[in-house]
């Protein structure tokens, strides 16, 4: 005589294993953006900033990519470092995009200190098992060739030292379109945000979606 109780248990076990496997397959990759006003969407509704536009697109992927925008306007690299532990603990990201340093440069802060701070950020990220992505930041030339050159070199030095990706600065494309820059001469307008989202999607997807390489 068949033991229906044992058959039921086997079928239930198979169902649970399939359910767990399916959940693992569909689990979202999570990207944390640690940035300043360039990623926060300065003077723009949050939903119109490039990070929000990208998050909306990537929720439609299968599996989806979750984007957490941990950017705050005005943040220096030191302020980003101060906020990082709580962000890592709360969101437990798989990847972290580091978009910091512009305010250090605009305030003429020590390049050496900024480099040290960004190095600490990279180390904290890797210690949690997440993978860092570093964005190249550039500042206007009126800060002097020596300072500007030293500032910009920090990013390639850190990327090489830590063997992490260095992503190009999207503002280099935006700045050529005066109509895409706010009256402060620094921040992108709302009209520029979809183009920035396109650019960042192209740059980020090969790392977050291996099949896109």
Domain assignment of residue 8, yes or no: no
Please confirm, yes or no, whether 91 is among the known catalytic residues. Answer: no
Question: Range of 195's domain?
Answer: 28-212
Question: CB-side exposure of 32: number of CA atoms within 13 Å?
Answer: 25
Domain assignment of residue 18, yes or no: no
Give the chain's domain count. Answer: 1
Give, to the nearest 10 degrees, the angle between helix 111-127 and helix 145-162: 20
Catalytic residue, candidates 11, 22, 37, 91: 37
Return the CATH number at 143: 3.40.50.1110
Residue-wise pLDDT for 67-125, tens only, equals 999 999 999 999 999 999 999 999 999 999 999 999 999 999 999 999 999 999 999 99
Domain assignment of residue 14, yes or no: no
Residue-wise pLDDT for 111-165, tens only, equals 999 999 999 999 999 999 999 999 999 998 888 999 999 999 999 999 999 999 9
Please confirm, yes or no, whether 37 is among the known catalytic residues. Answer: yes
Please confirm, yes or no, whether 198 is among the known catalytic residues. Answer: no
């Amino acid at each position: 005589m068949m033991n229906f109780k044992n058959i039921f248990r086997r079928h239930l076990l198979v169902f649970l294993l399939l359910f767990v496997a399916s959940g693992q397959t569909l689990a979202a990759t999570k990207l944390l953006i640690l940035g300043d006003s360039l990623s926060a969407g300065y003077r723009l509704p949050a939903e119109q900033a490039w990070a929000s536009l990208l998050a909306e697109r990537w929720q439609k992927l299968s599996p989806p990519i979750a984007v957490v925008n941990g950017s705050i306007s005005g943040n220096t690299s030191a302020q980003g470092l101060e906020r990082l532990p709580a962000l890592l603990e709360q969101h437990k990201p798989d990847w972290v995009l580091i978009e910091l340093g512009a305010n250090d440069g605009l305030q003429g802060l020590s390049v050496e200190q900024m480099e040290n701070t960004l190095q600490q950020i990279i180390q904290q990220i890797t210690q949690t098992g997440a993978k860092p992505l570093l964005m190249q930041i550039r500042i206007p030339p009126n800060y002097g060739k020596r300072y500007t050159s030293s500032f910009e070199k920090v990013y390639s030095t850190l990327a090489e030292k830590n063997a992490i990706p260095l992503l190009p600065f999207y503002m280099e494309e935006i700045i050529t379109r005066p109509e895409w820059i706010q009256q402060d001469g620094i921040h992108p307008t709302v009209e520029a945000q979809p183009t920035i989202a396109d650019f960042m999607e192209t740059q980020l997807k090969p790392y977050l979606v291996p099949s896109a390489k």
